[in-house]
Amino acid sequence: MGQHQHLQQKRVKSKARMSFVLLIILVFMVVEVITALMSHSLALLADAGHMLTDVGALTLGIVAIWFTGKPATPEKSYGYYRSEILAGFINALVLVGVAILILVQAYERLKQPPEVSAVPVFCLAVVGLIVNVVLLKLLDEFKTDSVNTRAAYLEILGDSMISIGVMASSVIIYFTHWYAADPIVSGIIGLLILPRTWLLLSECTNILMEGAPGHIDLASLRKSMLSIEGVIEVHDIHVWTITSGLDSMSAHVRIDPKAQAESVLDAVTRVVQDQYQLHHTTIQVEQAACESGVDACAP
């Protein structure tokens, strides 16, 4: 229970921080949309679209954290921890759609780039960069806690890169009047979204499919268990993630008929906890059959 309580305490703290970040993003996004429409900047509108995904990601993340705090029921024995992973999966799918939409719009505008007011676009991009740096600082201590907080951190980091791109395009437009710079930067923004989204989508899919966590080497885990005195075979070993920071393991351990089952179980449990940080384990000990002979199984 200690690990569960510690995780929940961190999630409650991150929820408060994420709520504050969400409020700041909402206000700035509205300002950015208005400026983008007035200045005819697709790059700025693309940035606002990307910020909309930030809003969605943070909202889903906050709701998911609330769900994870609900107690387990007989029907849902693990509680609602997976709601966090489901939220991350939905966020990733939405991001893919946004990236595709930005790329399509950039292609259409590249054929006949509209005139863009460079000065207001540049000024807002500078403000956006400052805001994003502040938000990154606010989320820094939570960026490795869960899929949701990591997704939020990466989204805002991406927004920072986008702001730099928008600043660059507005400078080019101001000095050269080459309006194609705006849709080109928009296309780059769309392309930047996809790789990070793919990583998030892959991680969430692996968890939902109950695949082994990437940081756990099953071959090494099996070898460590086999190295324990009295263990002669390890089979049906499974490791999966319930939610970010909470991995589980189940395995069957076949032991020497002369070994003490309780002692071997304690040793195996210590190894998987200390070396692999697997604290939620179910280990079935199977005593091997004795060889023929009167004293074959005598200690």
Which residue did the predictor score with more confidence, 274 or 112?
A: 274
pLDDT at 224: 96
Which residue did the predictor score with more confidence, 238 or 154?
A: 238
Which residue did the predictor score with more confidence, 18 or 53?
A: 18
**2 has pLDDT over 80:** no
- The pLDDT tens digits of the residues spanning 163-181 come to 888 898 899 999 999 989 8
Which residue did the predictor score with more confidence, 130 or 94?
A: 130
* Residues whose CB is less than 8 angstroms from the CB of residue 64 and which lie 6 or more positions away in sequence, other chains included: 83, 84, 86, 87, 148
pLDDT at 90: 84
pLDDT at 40: 81
Residue 212's pLDDT band (boundaries 50, 70, 90)? very high
Q: Report how far apart the first and last C-alpha atoms of the chain are (Å, whole number).
A: 37
Which residue did the predictor score with more confidence, 44 or 7?
A: 44
**265 has pLDDT over 90:** yes
> How many CB atoms lie under 10 A from the CB of residue 23?
11
Local structure of 213: helix, strand or coil: coil
Which residue did the predictor score with more confidence, 187 or 146?
A: 187
Q: Write down all domains in the chain, each with its CATH number in brackets.
A: 2-208 (1.20.1510.10), 218-287 (3.30.70.1350)
Q: How far is CA 289 from CA 232, 260, 264, 293, in A?
A: 12, 14, 16, 12
**216 has pLDDT over 90:** yes
**294 has pLDDT over 60:** no
CA–CA distance, 61 with 42 (Å, rounded to integer): 28
- The pLDDT tens digits of the residues spanning 244-261 come to 778 999 999 999 998 999
CA–CA distance, 193 with 49 (Å, rounded to integer): 11
Residue count (the chain): 299
Local structure of 283: helix, strand or coil: strand
pLDDT at 1: 46
pLDDT at 130: 92
- Of all residues in the chain, the percent with pLDDT exceeding 90 is 29
- The pLDDT tens digits of the residues spanning 109-153 come to 888 888 888 888 899 889 989 998 998 888 887 766 667 677 778
User: β-pairing, 246-255 with 231-243?
Assistant: antiparallel
Residue 239's pLDDT band (boundaries 50, 70, 90)? very high
